[in-house]
Structure 1
Amino acid sequence: MILVLGDSLSAEYGLKRGEGWVPLLEKRLAQQKVAATVVNASISGDTSSGGRARFAPLLAQHKPSLVVLELGANDALRGLPLTDTENNLMQITKAAQAAGAKVLIVGIQVPPNYGGDYTRRFEAVFSKVAEATKSGLVPFLLKGVADAPDALSLFQADRIHPTAAAQPRLLDNVWPELRKLLPKQ
């Protein structure tokens, strides 16, 4: 069982049900004949502290073998302390591992207007947690979307949330690292 704990980037914000990268993951798993159920516990607007508060009951209810952790973007948008984000992601990861689950940490980047120092420190949070916990890491969920020549066409009008057309790219960013953490068939 794969549990996705994320924010609007994983919760299909502004998309029709079934268009997001998480439902596309379910389809890819079926195509690859991987027997795995996916539970998407992502909530638009969620922060790492919100995810941490919700995680224990989700862990108890679903007993995942793999947790995909995609949180932190809203922490940055709200200017929350990076030490809090790092600590929350670390605690979620350790709880998942203590319950026997592998963890894939999905990173995000902030726009350059946050300043070079903050941008570098924010990006480092994800790799620090992954390294400290020996978890998998997707450095940048929006690679090939936010940095694409046609980036504007890949975002909704708010310029924050990717369109349905961008969702396969998000899945392609997650898939290589997720595949490494799947049980051998």
Structure 2
Amino acid sequence: MGRIILPCVSRTARTIASIGAAVIVGLSSTAPSQAQNEASSGERCLAANLDVSLGAQLPRTAARLRSGAPLKIVAIGSSSTVGLWVLRSAATYPEVMRRELSRLRSNATIDVINSGRVGDTIPNNIARFERDVFAHTPDLVIWQLGTNDVAWGGRPDQGLKRNVVEGVRALKAGSADVVLMDLQYAPQVLASAGYSTMEDIIIDVAKQERVGLFSRFALMRNSVSAGVAQSALVTWDGLHNTADGYDCIGRALARAISTSAR
């Protein structure tokens, strides 16, 4: 059982999403055979990432699952959390994660609040914590971060690292378990000058603060190395995930959460 609460989307986000929907409809009407040919890419991605670990315990999540109490998860981030370029909320990674976690923990009641916002950076995310995270009193927070801070030419520095540390500590102060989700392994990310520094920041902070790290960068890279076409996981814009990409991310994350919460 469970439900997902959709994000509040700004006017800019609605405009971008409307454009994306029109593009997708056009593409889907002209290339159904491609979608059919790539229908198994999500499964192949998952098969290449069977041993994903968060590298940290999730004590509050584990306690909720053991007791049978409802588990509330907030997913905060940018357009990757919103699920840009997919037409149904069911195809977003937070909803895929909820369904898979409900399957793995059939006696659990799991609620997921999608607090993604298109275009957000790390400071934007943190500025929304009070309203879009803490107000929901979550047991677990998934913070997808960093892509917009480098994809458009940004150069992460120690100031941005301090922001991430402060953000994680604020989330922990609310007694929630925390999992950080890093960048996409995608052409626009790989072409940015600061992506490796941003990756290092996220990895270092996760270790320093002893919170979970879900590396979608490694997950997508593993999948491509295993023979999954990058185009099966990344959309036409070279940045956002396809439905199969979101599916693999959501299911792999759910399995990692279930394992870490044992």
| Fold shared by both chains (TM-score > 0.5) | yes
Go from structure 1 to structure 2 and tell me whether the alpha carbon gap of 1:113 and 1:167 turns closer, same or farther (over 3 Å shift).
closer
Which residue in the other structure is 2:117 paired with?
A: 43
Contact 1:109 1:123 in 2 (8 A): no
1:70 to 144, 166, 169: 144
Which residue in the other structure is 2:198 paired with?
A: 122
Judging by fraction of residues, say which structure has more helix: 2
In the TM superposition, what is the alpha-carbon distance from 1:171 to its structure 2 partner? 1.7
Confirm whether residue 10 of structure 1 aligns to residue 81 of structure 2: yes
Confirm whether residue 25 of structure 1 aligns to residue 97 of structure 2: yes
Which residue in the other structure is 1:103 paired with?
A: 178
Residues of 2 paired with 1:44 and 1:163: CA distance? 16
SS at match of 2:235: coil
Query: Which 10-residue stretch deviates more, 12-21 or 75-84?
Result: 75-84
In the TM superposition, what is the alpha-carbon distance from 1:16 to its structure 2 partner? 1.2
Residues of 2 paired with 1:141 and 1:10: CA distance? 15
- CA deviation map 1:71-92 (0-9, x unaligned): 1100012314332432222222
Residues of 2 paired with 1:6 and 1:142: CA distance? 19
Query: Which 10-residue stretch deviates more, 120-129 or 170-179?
Result: 170-179
Residues of 2 paired with 1:74 and 1:96: CA distance? 21
Query: Which 10-residue stretch deviates more, 72-81 or 169-178?
Result: 169-178
In the TM superposition, what is the alpha-carbon distance from 1:37 to its structure 2 partner? 0.8
Which residue in the other structure is 2:241 paired with?
A: 162
Contact 2:168 2:178 in 1 (8 A): yes
Contact 1:127 1:137 in 2 (8 A): yes
SS at match of 1:37: strand
Residues of 1 paired with 2:117 and 2:155: CA distance? 18
Residues of 2 paired with 1:146 and 1:155: CA distance? 14
Go from structure 1 to structure 2 and tell me whether the alpha carbon gap of 1:59 and 1:162 turns closer, same or farther (over 3 Å shift).
closer
Question: TM (normalized to structure 2)?
Answer: 0.62
From the CA coordinates, give the structure whose radius of gyration is larger: 2
Contact 1:2 1:65 in 2 (8 A): yes
Query: Which 10-residue stretch deviates more, 1-10 or 83-92?
Result: 83-92
Go from structure 1 to structure 2 and tell me whether the alpha carbon gap of 1:165 and 1:87 turns closer, same or farther (over 3 Å shift).
same
In the TM superposition, what is the alpha-carbon distance from 1:26 to its structure 2 partner? 1.5
Query: Which 10-residue stretch deviates more, 18-27 or 172-181?
Result: 172-181
Residues of 1 paired with 2:246 and 2:132: CA distance? 25
In the TM superposition, what is the alpha-carbon distance from 1:142 to its structure 2 partner? 6.5
Structure 1: give runs of 5+ residues left out of the alignment: none
Structure 2: give runs of 5+ residues left out of the alignment: 1-71
Query: Which 10-residue stretch deviates more, 22-31 or 74-83?
Result: 74-83
Q: Which has the higher contact order (CA 8 A, sep 6+)?
A: 2
Which residue in the other structure is 1:59 paired with?
A: 133
Give identity over the alignment, percent.
22
Contact 2:78 2:119 in 1 (8 A): yes
Question: TM (normalized to structure 1)?
Answer: 0.86
Go from structure 1 to structure 2 and tell me whether the alpha carbon gap of 1:63 and 1:14 turns closer, same or farther (over 3 Å shift).
same
Contact 2:142 2:179 in 1 (8 A): yes
In the TM superposition, what is the alpha-carbon distance from 1:93 to its structure 2 partner? 1.1
Amino acid corresponding to residue 91 of structure 1 in structure 2: E
